[in-house]
Amino acid sequence: MKIYFLLFFSVLIGSQTCLAQEKLTETEKLICTAKIWGFLKYYHPKVANGKYDWDTQLFEILPKIEKAQDKTALSSVFSQWIASLGEISRCNSCGTDSKKEYFTKNFDLNWTQDRNLFSDEVCKKLKDIEENRFQGKQHYVSTINNVGNIQIENEPEYKNFDWNNKNLRILSLFRYWNTIEYFFPYKYQTDQKWDLVLTEMLPKFLHPENKEEYHLCMLELVVKINDSHGFFITPETNDYFGLKWLPADFSIIDDKAIVTKFYNDSLAQKDDLRIGDVITKVDGKPISQILEKNYKYINASNASSKLNNAKYAIFNGSTDTVKIEYIRNGTTESKTVNRYFFKDFKYKFSWGKDKWKILDGNIGYVNMGTVTNKEIPKMMEDLKNTKGTIFDIRNYPNGTLYQIANYINPTKADFYKKIIPDLSYPGKFIWGESGKCGNNRHEKYTGKIIVLVNGQTQSHAEFTTMGFQANKNAMVIGSQTSGADGNISRFELVGGFKTMMSGIGIFYPDGKETQRVGIVPNIEVKPTILGIQKGQDEVLDKAIEVINTKS
């Protein structure tokens, strides 16, 4: 029996020794480094307060990481690094704050205690840092007063950034990944687990073949947060897609691009482009094939907004002309059409001329993209006797929600609640107070209330729609909205390349999500190819039908 026990014990010790001595890949080592570097940046009292130049610390530790061949050697590097930062004092205020209601779906520090990654000594040090984390003013991040979304601070920009510099590419990935890891309120909703994003993107950041490929790596990384606010544009990404446009806008329906309007009428007429043309191929490639190729480079919260944001990825290019295949009047034809720089269109963007009007049948219509706060009293006076009013939010409103709510909501009502990052415990978010709109000071509008939405209804437009929904009789008609709600946080990747994300989490009062889901219409109506060709606004038509239907 003793012999069997000794044999078993020897095998067990041997297997652990093999694990400790198993050679680690560059990616495996850098994944651990990214996590520890980010954790120390926001948690260690002598790092989070700005005592150390944390970028330089990374550059100095990377050669040691490269030399470490196995878990034991790597943990030794980490342990010495942490020790070099100095002793930390006991934190008497780091316990659970019973006054805070935490949202914890984004929070996960279990990796700090993973003995498959780190030695016992490193795990203990990381736990000690968490339990005695920094409680002062963070050096690298702060929150915006009265809102709560983060702003990144004191990060060197590296204006003379050279994409060939491997260390700076690593730094860029580490910075962005940890910003999302600790401060993106919707991290838990990403299609791909954020840990796996790091695993996938590290080799791409380590080994880009050229400058354009590196910029596309940055774009792909940003797209992986699945947030319609997550824009990322550089001269190199523009070169990839091309800066020359067709003089027309499109809707993507059933893998076809339908012409919906023109940026320049005369240039469109020059190539005989017409509203309702159904484009099926571009330079011989089906629309679906082009979308599939560029899908990972198109930022969006959901599939609908992905299509809405994809048009430049389908038709743009660097050449003056492009060949299209299209269907008109049931006949399939092909022709070559011209492309132009967008500035050549001299296009003046507008949400339309009408601010409000009364349609046939005594139905009010409000263009929420054009009406302003000072006009609300006059508008509501003009519309007060209509049998129903359609509030069109297929645009971006001018902050008029609260004024309008005073006329349509009989009492002050909750319409959202939010989460904001807790900088005293990075990765955790705090539920804020519910937001309200409406009051009983004005004569209330008694007609039916219809709200129109579509994929262009984004951010403040979605927030505004939620305010209208506080009136339980309001009805939303249209299609899935963009699914990007919450004040944006702007920041930069290394080299000064700008990006942004949704910075606070917005939910309905009952905790129901809006991010990625968007506003779910009571009645779903999507434009059809035939409707576009006939010049119909099928969503508006449905709203008029609902108002005219006796309830």
- Mean pLDDT in the chain? 93
For 189-227, the three-class secondary structure string (H helix, E strand, C coil) is HCCCCHHHHHHHHHHHHHCCCCHHHHHHHHHHHHHCCCC
Q: pLDDT at position 536, please?
A: 97
pLDDT of 19 > 70? The answer is no
pLDDT per residue as tens digits for the range 500-551: 999 999 999 999 999 999 999 999 999 999 999 999 999 999 999 999 997 6
Q: Do 220 and 248 contact (CB within 8 A), yes or no?
A: no
State what percent of residues in the chain have pLDDT above 70. Answer: 96
pLDDT per residue as tens digits for the range 66-83: 999 999 999 999 999 999
> Which residue bears the tokens 């919906």?
260
pLDDT per residue as tens digits for the range 409-427: 888 999 999 999 999 999 9
The phi, psi pair for 392, rounded to 5°, reads: -90, 110
Structural domains for the chain: 19-91+113-139 (no CATH), 356-482+521-548 (3.90.226.10)
Element (H, E) at 547: helix 538-548
**What is d(CA 353, CA 405) in angstroms, rounded to the nearest whole number?**
23
Half-sphere exposure (Cβ direction) of 150: Cα atoms closer than 13 Å: 27
**What is d(CA 358, CA 336) in angstroms, rounded to the nearest whole number?**
44
Q: pLDDT at position 239, please?
A: 96
State what percent of residues in the chain have pLDDT above 90. Answer: 89
Which pair of tokens denotes residue 43? Answer: 């948690």
**What is d(CA 54, CA 470) in angstroms, rounded to the nearest whole number?**
47
Q: pLDDT at position 8, please?
A: 40
Q: Name the CA dihedral angle for 45, 50, 53, 57, rounded to a multiple of 10 degrees.
A: 20
**Whole-Å CA distances, 224 to 38, 195, 513:** 19, 12, 19
pLDDT of 187 > 90? The answer is yes
Mean pLDDT of 268-277: 97
**Whole-Å CA distances, 536 to 434, 527, 528, 539, 542:** 39, 9, 9, 9, 11
Which pair of tokens denotes residue 436? Answer: 């309200």
Least confident of 88-102, 368-382, 482-496: 88-102
Q: Do 301 and 482 contact (CB within 8 A), yes or no?
A: yes
Band the pLDDT of 159: cuts 50, 70, 90.
confident
> Residue 184: CB partners within 8 Å, gap ≥ 6?
106, 225, 227, 501, 502
Band the pLDDT of 21: cuts 50, 70, 90.
low
**What is d(CA 399, CA 245) in angstroms, rounded to the nearest whole number?**
32
